[in-house]
Amino acid sequence: MPIDARPYPYELLAKPPALVIIDMQRDFVEPGGFGDALGNDVARLQTCIPVIARLLATARRLGLPVIHTREAHRPDLSDCPPSKRQRGDCRLRIGDAGPMGRLLIDGEPGNAIIEELKPLPGEIEIVKPGKGAFYATPLEQILPNLGVTHLLLAGVTTEVCVQTTMREANDRGYTCLLIEDATESYFPAFKQATLEMIVAQGGIVGWVADSDTVIQALERTYG
């Protein structure tokens, strides 16, 4: 059963796709985290939380593989290039102490996935030191072991970690669909530009569809 998507229908296979939820962590969506320290309005990202929660509940009910990611660095910052830490003119940098602990550091309270989308036991959680979920992570081994060829992507931010992961996956032969209302950016124009880049030239990066359409197709196919 295909999903009615742009630029043309996205075919679902007998083997379910994996739902990949990118970086829905407190550091990006709550006041006092890294996104806030960069000067962003984090409330913008919170609008996609209930949409992702519905998708997550659907995936769990239908038995789809679920993969969560977090952008995080080791406490000693050995996996954080100095160029990344020093970039920008912000009041707090990666590793500095903030209201929810050290920013973007694995194990700190602010680096945890938000309570509404907290992984269940058995769900895969990828800790990534970069923007893309394939760089310096075991994801490239995990997906073949699951027998997954199709990915449904959600999370934040659209133009940075979500798009990077989608492009990495595309280069590795995965068939990817970004769920439009299950992703968000601090900058609305950047989100819209990313969606258009993905579907341009016959879906050069992948497909885009809204959550209601995706959920209905999943339920018809795997319910």
Residue of 197, 165, 219, 177 whose CA lies nearest to 57 = 219
pLDDT interval class at 90 (50, 70, 90)? confident
Q: Is the peptide bond before 188 cis (omega within 30 degrees of 0)?
A: no
Catalytic residues: 23, 128, 161
Helix (H/G/I), strand (E/B), else coil: 122? coil
**Mean pLDDT confidence for 182-208:** 98
Q: Encoding tokens for residue 140?
A: 């490239």
> How high is the pLDDT of residue 1?
82
> How high is the pLDDT of residue 67?
98
- What is the per-residue pLDDT across 40-71, written as a single tens digit (0 to 9) for each? 999 999 999 999 999 999 999 999 999 999 99
- What is the per-residue pLDDT across 150-192, written as a single tens digit (0 to 9) for each? 999 999 999 999 999 999 999 999 999 999 999 999 999 999 9
Helix (H/G/I), strand (E/B), else coil: 114? coil
H helices of 8-138, in order, are 26-29, 34-37, 43-46, 49-62, 82-86
Specify the DSSP element, H or E, that contains 201. Answer: helix 188-203
Please state, for a pLDDT cut of 90, what percent of the chain lies above it: 96
Query: Within a 13 Å sphere around the CA of 125, how many CA atoms are in the beta-carbon half?
Result: 16
